[in-house]
Amino acid sequence: MFDSRHIRTFHEVVRAGSYSAAARELGYTQPAITQQMKALERTVGSPLFIRVGRGMRLTEAGETLARHADTILSSISAAQAQMNAITRLRAGRVRVCAFPSANATLIPEAMARLAATHPGVRVDLLEGEPPDSLDRVVRGECDITLAFTYPGLREETPPELVEIPLMEDQLTVLLPSGHPLARRRAVKLAELSGERWIAGCLRCRANFLHECAEQGFAPDIAFTTDDNLVVQSMVAAGLGVAMMPGLVLSFLCHHKVTGRALEPASRRHVSAYVLREHLEIPATARVLEELKTVAGNRVGC
Protein backbone atom coordinates (compact mmCIF):
# COMPACT_ATOMS: atom_id res chain seq x y z
CA MET A 1 0.00 0.00 0.00
CA PHE A 2 1.31 3.44 -0.92
CA ASP A 3 1.71 6.11 1.73
CA SER A 4 0.03 9.25 0.36
CA ARG A 5 2.75 11.44 1.92
CA HIS A 6 5.40 9.57 -0.02
CA ILE A 7 3.43 9.95 -3.25
CA ARG A 8 3.13 13.72 -2.68
CA THR A 9 6.87 13.99 -2.03
CA PHE A 10 7.68 11.86 -5.08
CA HIS A 11 5.42 14.04 -7.22
CA GLU A 12 7.26 17.17 -6.03
CA VAL A 13 10.69 15.61 -6.63
CA VAL A 14 9.68 14.80 -10.22
CA ARG A 15 8.27 18.28 -10.72
CA ALA A 16 11.20 20.13 -9.10
CA GLY A 17 13.89 17.89 -10.63
CA SER A 18 15.91 17.11 -7.50
CA TYR A 19 15.67 16.16 -3.83
CA SER A 20 17.09 19.51 -2.72
CA ALA A 21 14.62 21.53 -4.81
CA ALA A 22 11.71 19.41 -3.54
CA ALA A 23 12.95 19.89 0.03
CA ARG A 24 12.87 23.67 -0.41
CA GLU A 25 9.35 23.59 -1.87
CA LEU A 26 7.95 21.30 0.80
CA GLY A 27 9.81 22.80 3.75
CA TYR A 28 11.60 19.53 4.53
CA THR A 29 15.28 18.78 4.97
CA GLN A 30 16.99 16.92 2.13
CA PRO A 31 17.67 13.85 4.33
CA ALA A 32 13.93 13.69 5.08
CA ILE A 33 13.19 13.65 1.33
CA THR A 34 15.80 10.92 0.84
CA GLN A 35 14.29 8.81 3.63
CA GLN A 36 10.78 9.10 2.15
CA MET A 37 11.98 8.12 -1.32
CA LYS A 38 13.84 5.11 0.05
CA ALA A 39 10.70 4.05 1.90
CA LEU A 40 8.64 4.44 -1.30
CA GLU A 41 11.17 2.40 -3.26
CA ARG A 42 10.92 -0.38 -0.66
CA THR A 43 7.13 -0.34 -1.10
CA VAL A 44 7.44 -0.42 -4.90
CA GLY A 45 10.19 -3.03 -4.79
CA SER A 46 12.31 -1.19 -7.36
CA PRO A 47 14.45 1.98 -7.63
CA LEU A 48 12.56 5.05 -8.84
CA PHE A 49 15.53 7.30 -9.70
CA ILE A 50 19.02 6.78 -11.07
CA ARG A 51 21.88 9.27 -10.97
CA VAL A 52 22.96 10.80 -14.27
CA GLY A 53 25.97 13.05 -13.75
CA ARG A 54 24.89 15.69 -11.23
CA GLY A 55 21.24 15.11 -11.98
CA MET A 56 18.92 12.15 -11.92
CA ARG A 57 16.28 10.57 -14.07
CA LEU A 58 13.35 8.27 -13.53
CA THR A 59 13.62 4.53 -13.91
CA GLU A 60 10.92 2.65 -15.80
CA ALA A 61 9.15 2.04 -12.46
CA GLY A 62 9.53 5.74 -11.63
CA GLU A 63 8.05 6.79 -14.97
CA THR A 64 5.09 4.46 -14.43
CA LEU A 65 4.46 5.85 -10.95
CA ALA A 66 4.86 9.43 -12.21
CA ARG A 67 2.11 8.86 -14.79
CA HIS A 68 -0.27 7.77 -12.02
CA ALA A 69 0.81 10.20 -9.29
CA ASP A 70 -1.43 13.05 -10.49
CA THR A 71 -4.45 10.73 -10.61
CA ILE A 72 -3.67 9.27 -7.17
CA LEU A 73 -3.30 12.70 -5.57
CA SER A 74 -6.39 14.06 -7.30
CA SER A 75 -8.42 11.08 -6.11
CA ILE A 76 -7.17 11.56 -2.56
CA SER A 77 -8.04 15.26 -2.67
CA ALA A 78 -11.50 14.50 -4.03
CA ALA A 79 -12.08 11.86 -1.37
CA GLN A 80 -10.97 14.26 1.36
CA ALA A 81 -13.29 16.97 0.05
CA GLN A 82 -16.23 14.59 -0.10
CA MET A 83 -15.53 13.22 3.39
CA ASN A 84 -15.27 16.76 4.77
CA ALA A 85 -18.62 17.58 3.17
CA ILE A 86 -20.21 14.52 4.79
CA THR A 87 -18.77 15.13 8.25
CA ARG A 88 -19.74 18.81 8.11
CA LEU A 89 -23.26 17.91 6.90
CA ARG A 90 -22.88 19.57 3.51
CA ALA A 91 -23.56 16.16 1.96
CA GLY A 92 -24.66 12.67 2.93
CA ARG A 93 -27.47 10.22 2.31
CA VAL A 94 -29.68 8.56 4.92
CA ARG A 95 -32.18 5.76 4.22
CA VAL A 96 -35.26 5.99 6.45
CA CYS A 97 -37.97 3.34 6.66
CA ALA A 98 -41.22 4.22 8.42
CA PHE A 99 -44.76 2.93 8.81
CA PRO A 100 -47.43 4.72 6.70
CA SER A 101 -48.86 7.13 9.29
CA ALA A 102 -45.33 8.26 10.27
CA ASN A 103 -44.41 8.69 6.60
CA ALA A 104 -47.46 10.94 6.23
CA THR A 105 -46.82 13.05 9.35
CA LEU A 106 -43.49 12.92 11.20
CA ILE A 107 -41.28 12.36 8.16
CA PRO A 108 -42.40 15.37 6.05
CA GLU A 109 -42.03 17.76 9.00
CA ALA A 110 -38.61 16.41 9.95
CA MET A 111 -37.38 16.46 6.35
CA ALA A 112 -38.55 20.05 5.89
CA ARG A 113 -36.51 21.07 8.94
CA LEU A 114 -33.50 19.15 7.64
CA ALA A 115 -33.77 20.73 4.18
CA ALA A 116 -33.83 24.21 5.69
CA THR A 117 -30.61 23.72 7.67
CA HIS A 118 -28.67 21.05 5.73
CA PRO A 119 -29.92 20.98 2.14
CA GLY A 120 -27.01 18.80 1.01
CA VAL A 121 -28.17 15.85 3.12
CA ARG A 122 -30.45 13.57 1.09
CA VAL A 123 -33.00 11.17 2.55
CA ASP A 124 -34.28 8.07 0.79
CA LEU A 125 -37.75 7.14 2.07
CA LEU A 126 -38.95 3.56 2.40
CA GLU A 127 -42.18 2.19 3.85
CA GLY A 128 -42.57 -0.81 6.10
CA GLU A 129 -44.39 -2.11 9.17
CA PRO A 130 -42.74 -3.76 12.17
CA PRO A 131 -41.35 -6.32 12.70
CA ASP A 132 -40.11 -6.52 9.08
CA SER A 133 -39.03 -2.86 9.12
CA LEU A 134 -36.77 -3.60 12.12
CA ASP A 135 -35.16 -6.50 10.29
CA ARG A 136 -34.43 -4.20 7.35
CA VAL A 137 -32.06 -2.15 9.52
CA VAL A 138 -30.27 -5.31 10.63
CA ARG A 139 -30.00 -6.47 7.00
CA GLY A 140 -28.49 -3.10 6.01
CA GLU A 141 -31.40 -2.08 3.77
CA CYS A 142 -31.96 1.18 5.68
CA ASP A 143 -30.13 3.31 8.25
CA ILE A 144 -33.08 4.33 10.46
CA THR A 145 -36.46 2.72 10.91
CA LEU A 146 -39.48 4.15 12.69
CA ALA A 147 -41.62 1.51 14.36
CA PHE A 148 -44.24 1.20 17.08
CA THR A 149 -44.96 -1.13 19.96
CA TYR A 150 -48.03 -1.70 22.12
CA PRO A 151 -47.74 -1.93 25.92
CA GLY A 152 -50.06 -4.92 26.17
CA LEU A 153 -48.17 -7.07 23.67
CA ARG A 154 -44.83 -8.82 24.04
CA GLU A 155 -42.78 -7.72 21.07
CA GLU A 156 -39.10 -8.51 20.60
CA THR A 157 -36.58 -6.09 19.14
CA PRO A 158 -33.39 -7.40 17.46
CA PRO A 159 -30.58 -7.05 20.04
CA GLU A 160 -28.32 -5.27 17.52
CA LEU A 161 -30.60 -2.22 17.48
CA VAL A 162 -30.63 0.87 19.66
CA GLU A 163 -34.07 2.30 20.44
CA ILE A 164 -34.61 6.07 20.51
CA PRO A 165 -38.09 6.79 21.98
CA LEU A 166 -39.95 9.49 20.04
CA MET A 167 -43.54 9.80 21.24
CA GLU A 168 -46.70 8.18 22.49
CA ASP A 169 -49.52 8.00 19.96
CA GLN A 170 -53.02 7.83 21.46
CA LEU A 171 -55.39 5.39 19.80
CA THR A 172 -58.70 6.63 18.45
CA VAL A 173 -61.81 5.20 16.84
CA LEU A 174 -62.94 6.30 13.38
CA LEU A 175 -66.71 6.50 13.05
CA PRO A 176 -69.04 7.51 10.23
CA SER A 177 -69.97 11.14 10.92
CA GLY A 178 -73.63 10.18 11.35
CA HIS A 179 -72.90 7.51 13.96
CA PRO A 180 -74.78 8.10 17.26
CA LEU A 181 -71.50 8.02 19.25
CA ALA A 182 -69.78 10.53 16.95
CA ARG A 183 -71.26 13.37 19.04
CA ARG A 184 -69.20 12.29 22.06
CA ARG A 185 -65.68 13.56 22.80
CA ALA A 186 -64.61 10.05 23.82
CA VAL A 187 -66.06 6.61 23.24
CA LYS A 188 -65.81 3.50 25.38
CA LEU A 189 -64.49 0.55 23.41
CA ALA A 190 -67.05 -1.78 24.98
CA GLU A 191 -69.85 0.40 23.55
CA LEU A 192 -68.70 -0.63 20.08
CA SER A 193 -68.81 -4.38 20.74
CA GLY A 194 -71.71 -4.87 18.30
CA GLU A 195 -70.07 -2.99 15.41
CA ARG A 196 -68.44 -4.37 12.28
CA TRP A 197 -64.75 -3.51 12.27
CA ILE A 198 -62.04 -2.68 9.76
CA ALA A 199 -58.66 -3.91 11.00
CA GLY A 200 -55.14 -2.81 10.05
CA CYS A 201 -51.63 -4.30 9.93
CA LEU A 202 -50.71 -7.50 11.78
CA ARG A 203 -49.25 -5.74 14.83
CA CYS A 204 -52.16 -3.28 15.07
CA ARG A 205 -54.66 -6.10 14.62
CA ALA A 206 -53.03 -8.13 17.41
CA ASN A 207 -53.29 -5.16 19.76
CA PHE A 208 -56.89 -4.49 18.67
CA LEU A 209 -57.91 -8.06 19.49
CA HIS A 210 -56.07 -7.81 22.82
CA GLU A 211 -57.85 -4.55 23.73
CA CYS A 212 -61.25 -5.98 22.81
CA ALA A 213 -60.58 -9.12 24.87
CA GLU A 214 -59.69 -6.90 27.82
CA GLN A 215 -63.15 -5.30 27.44
CA GLY A 216 -64.83 -8.70 27.27
CA PHE A 217 -65.79 -9.10 23.59
CA ALA A 218 -64.51 -10.53 20.32
CA PRO A 219 -64.86 -8.02 17.45
CA ASP A 220 -66.54 -8.78 14.14
CA ILE A 221 -63.72 -7.96 11.69
CA ALA A 222 -65.36 -7.46 8.31
CA PHE A 223 -62.36 -6.08 6.40
CA THR A 224 -58.58 -5.96 6.80
CA THR A 225 -56.24 -3.51 5.08
CA ASP A 226 -52.87 -1.84 5.77
CA ASP A 227 -53.88 1.26 3.79
CA ASN A 228 -55.00 4.14 6.03
CA LEU A 229 -56.84 5.89 3.20
CA VAL A 230 -58.76 2.71 2.37
CA VAL A 231 -59.79 2.41 6.02
CA GLN A 232 -61.10 5.98 5.96
CA SER A 233 -63.03 5.35 2.75
CA MET A 234 -64.62 2.21 4.18
CA VAL A 235 -65.63 4.01 7.37
CA ALA A 236 -67.05 6.90 5.31
CA ALA A 237 -69.08 4.39 3.29
CA GLY A 238 -70.59 2.97 6.48
CA LEU A 239 -68.87 -0.43 6.14
CA GLY A 240 -67.59 -0.44 9.69
CA VAL A 241 -65.61 1.41 12.36
CA ALA A 242 -61.88 1.25 12.98
CA MET A 243 -59.37 1.60 15.80
CA MET A 244 -56.62 3.85 14.44
CA PRO A 245 -53.56 5.68 15.79
CA GLY A 246 -53.91 9.39 16.56
CA LEU A 247 -51.37 10.27 13.86
CA VAL A 248 -53.98 9.31 11.28
CA LEU A 249 -56.16 12.23 12.40
CA SER A 250 -53.52 14.58 10.96
CA PHE A 251 -54.44 13.47 7.46
CA LEU A 252 -58.11 12.58 7.91
CA CYS A 253 -59.40 13.15 4.39
CA HIS A 254 -63.10 12.32 4.53
CA HIS A 255 -65.63 14.81 5.87
CA LYS A 256 -67.91 11.81 6.48
CA VAL A 257 -65.44 10.36 9.04
CA THR A 258 -65.08 11.45 12.66
CA GLY A 259 -62.20 10.52 14.97
CA ARG A 260 -62.84 10.16 18.69
CA ALA A 261 -60.60 9.25 21.64
CA LEU A 262 -61.07 5.81 23.15
CA GLU A 263 -61.85 5.04 26.78
CA PRO A 264 -59.99 3.66 28.57
CA ALA A 265 -57.11 5.58 26.96
CA SER A 266 -54.70 3.42 25.01
CA ARG A 267 -51.43 4.42 23.38
CA ARG A 268 -48.72 2.93 21.24
CA HIS A 269 -45.05 3.82 21.64
CA VAL A 270 -43.29 5.21 18.57
CA SER A 271 -39.49 4.92 18.41
CA ALA A 272 -36.61 5.16 15.96
CA TYR A 273 -34.21 2.22 15.71
CA VAL A 274 -30.63 2.22 14.44
CA LEU A 275 -27.50 0.11 14.64
CA ARG A 276 -25.29 1.52 17.40
CA GLU A 277 -22.44 2.41 15.05
CA HIS A 278 -24.78 4.52 12.90
CA LEU A 279 -25.22 6.93 15.80
CA GLU A 280 -21.70 8.19 15.04
CA ILE A 281 -22.55 9.10 11.43
CA PRO A 282 -23.26 12.86 11.32
CA ALA A 283 -26.09 12.78 8.77
CA THR A 284 -27.87 9.91 10.56
CA ALA A 285 -27.52 11.66 13.92
CA ARG A 286 -28.92 14.89 12.42
CA VAL A 287 -31.97 13.10 10.98
CA LEU A 288 -32.61 11.50 14.39
CA GLU A 289 -32.45 14.91 16.06
CA GLU A 290 -35.01 16.34 13.65
CA LEU A 291 -37.31 13.35 14.21
CA LYS A 292 -37.05 13.78 18.00
CA THR A 293 -37.89 17.48 17.72
CA VAL A 294 -40.92 16.92 15.49
CA ALA A 295 -42.21 13.97 17.52
CA GLY A 296 -41.72 15.91 20.75
CA ASN A 297 -44.27 18.44 19.52
CA ARG A 298 -46.81 15.64 19.19
CA VAL A 299 -46.44 13.91 22.57
CA GLY A 300 -49.82 12.59 23.63
CA CYS A 301 -51.14 12.88 20.08
List, for residues 199-240, the tens digit of each pLDDT value. Answer: 988 899 999 999 999 999 999 999 999 888 899 999 999 999
CATH top-level class for 170-267?
alpha beta
Residue 74 has pLDDT above 80, yes or no: no
Residue 85 has pLDDT above 60, yes or no: no
Residue 278 has pLDDT above 80, yes or no: yes
Looking at the chain, which residues constitute the CATH 1.10.10.10 domain(s)?
A: 4-72
Looking at the chain, which residues constitute the CATH 3.40.190.10 domain(s)?
A: 82-167+269-297, 170-267
Burial category of 188 from C-beta neighbours within 10 Å (exposed 0-12, middle 13-18, buried 19 and up): middle
User: Predicted confidence band at 277 (pLDDT cuts at 50, 70, 90)?
Assistant: confident
User: Average pLDDT of the chain?
Assistant: 88
Residue 103 has pLDDT above 90, yes or no: yes
What is the Cα gyration radius of the chain? 31
pLDDT at 301: 43
pLDDT tens per residue, range 157-186: 999 999 999 999 999 999 999 999 999 999
In DSSP terms, 259 is beta-bridged to: 174
User: Predicted confidence band at 257 (pLDDT cuts at 50, 70, 90)?
Assistant: very high
User: Predicted confidence band at 251 (pLDDT cuts at 50, 70, 90)?
Assistant: confident
Q: Is the dihedral of CA 182, 186, 191, 192 positive or negative?
A: positive
First to last CA, the chain: 56
Annotation: CATH topology of 4-72: Arc Repressor Mutant, subunit A (1.10.10)
Q: How many CB atoms lie within 10 A of CB 52?
A: 8
In CATH, the number for domain 82-167+269-297 is 3.40.190.10
pLDDT tens per residue, range 14-49: 988 889 899 988 888 999 999 999 999 999 888 999
- Residues 6 or more apart from 288 whose CB is under 8 A from it? 144, 164, 272, 274, 279
